[in-house]
Amino acid sequence: MIGVVIPVHDEEQLLGACIDSVLQAAAHPELGGETVQVLAVLDACSDGSAAIAEAAGIATLAIDARNVGQARATGVRWLLDRGARWIACTDADSIAGANWLAAQLALGADVVCGTVRIAQWDGIHLDAQARYHAHYQQHDDHRHVHGANLGFSAEAYLRAGGFPPLAAHEDLHLVRAFERSGARISWSSRPAVHTSARLDARAPEGFAAFLRGLL
């Protein structure tokens, strides 16, 4: 079984599109019909996110941590308990490509660190966009780490010790633990994910904060 974890905190505006894209990726023919269990971890949600996830037919798990690292760790643990051999992580404001899961698995690695593409710049000044493109490596052998596009085997995750309960950079800390454990990491741009360019951060030091720093 393949598992997908989506941490959610008040994402009713974007969650439906994210789930639709993940379900499309789960139906990719190169997966050979393997079961894909999609889980939304609803962290202190006060909007309609739960109803959107339930209407889409995916599993939900409600917590009250207000902590993305804890949300991801709780979701991964839930999926591992149900027999997942591979876990893919994305974010509720992101859109997975149709080949997202198939491309991760085709790389044959213990861990896949993928890149993200900006779906729409939403009026962010052209100078800031230029600074982003000058910094970002949209190619294989990059060294970016995104919770919105990260996959790993169950064995590698358990060996590395799992997501730390951090409010930000939990993905980076996990990848560093993968490196220390000797995991085979593929730094690939092939698994495609588009993410939003919003500046109102859910994680205080996450991708939105990085974009704000370019302004």
The CA distance from 65 to 52, in Å, is 20
pLDDT for 128: 64
Confidence of residue 214 (pLDDT cuts 50, 70, 90): very low
For the segment 62-91, the average pLDDT, to the nearest whole number, is 98
pLDDT for 197: 58
Residue 89's DSSP bridge partners are 5, 150
pLDDT for 88: 98
Q: Which 3 state secondary structure label does DSSP give 178?
A: helix
Alpha helices in 45-93 (DSSP H): 49-55, 68-81
- pLDDT at residue 213 greater than cutoff 60: no
- pLDDT at residue 205 greater than cutoff 90: no
Question: Tell me, what DSSP letter sits at residue 29?
Answer: G
For the segment 83-104, the average pLDDT, to the nearest whole number, is 97
pLDDT for 179: 98
For the segment 108-112, the average pLDDT, to the nearest whole number, is 98
The CA distance from 55 to 202, in Å, is 23
Confidence of residue 208 (pLDDT cuts 50, 70, 90): low
Higher pLDDT, 118 or 190: 190
Q: What is the mean pLDDT of the chain?
A: 91
Sorted by where each starts, the structural domains of the chain and their CATH numbers stand as 2-214 (3.90.550.10)
The CA distance from 70 to 191, in Å, is 25
For the segment 68-96, the average pLDDT, to the nearest whole number, is 97
CB atoms within 10 A of CB 201: 15
The CA distance from 161 to 178, in Å, is 9
- pLDDT at residue 209 greater than cutoff 60: no
What is the chain's percent helix, strand, coil content, to nearest 5? 35, 20, 40
For the segment 14-40, the average pLDDT, to the nearest whole number, is 98
- pLDDT at residue 33 greater than cutoff 70: yes
Strand order in the sheet with 94-96: 94-96, 193-195, 117-118
Rounding to the nearest 10 degrees, give the CA dihedral for residues 12, 122, 6, 8: -40
For the segment 30-41, the average pLDDT, to the nearest whole number, is 98
